[in-house]
Amino acid sequence: MDKLGRMKTNKEIVKIPKKTFAFPREKKELRRKRVHEITNALRQAYPDVRCALHFATPMELLVATILSAQCTDKRVNMVTPALFKKFPDTRAFSKAKEEDVEKLVKSTGFYKNKAKNICAAARRIMEQFRGEVPRTMDDLVSLPGVGRKTANVILGNAYDIPGIPVDTHMIRVNGRLGITRNTDPVKIEFDLMPLLPEKDWVEYSHLIIEHGRNRCFARKPDCPGCEIRNRCPSRDIVARL
């Protein structure tokens, strides 16, 4: 963990919330039932939820997800049209000069490292995977700049392979809901797996992330307007923060 409270996990940087809560232990059967109720309630609140990053190919999603680290999806979506026009496929990115990519992604922050990883990942894909973005977790995390979160985003949204991406919203909201006591993204991922049917893994992540953006804010959550308030053990605690 660095001085800013960020933890490096498997080549990705994920912000760790400063406040966590300890709740009475809940039997797995009851927690699974509550997760099911939360999922259904959020489906009603966000019926059209989907990946917020704009992409047309697995490579475009890989690039957009790398750019989304410590950056809003809205900003990434503003940057990628020009980026994808100049570099339309994996081969183009593999031959790109890092400084040319840097110029186009500078506003996303950490742009030098992101450009380096994008170019290096594209070269690895061309050399080892015949130009196709891999379809397995092990192969994806072998790419520069790709950890489990990015890999799960690609598997779930580009290839319809179940996965649970864990970002800062997932850490914060699941922690407040008392679904997990962990703050490590990988541990949270594995905590959630047995609580959800595989078919719901990707959707659940989208729903929680959307709720984190719209209701369960980091600094001042909208507990009075929260659609899952009655299923949240921290509602009164968080509202007073």
Catalytic residues: 149, 167
Q: How far is CA 193 from CA 152, 167, 179, 180, 207, in A?
A: 13, 15, 11, 11, 15
Q: Helices in the chain by DSSP H: which ranges?
A: 28-45, 58-67, 73-86, 90-95, 98-105, 111-128, 137-140, 148-158, 168-176, 185-192, 201-214, 235-239
Residue 214: how many other CB atoms lie within 10 Å: 14
Asked whether 63 and 83 are in contact (CB, 8 A), the reply is: yes
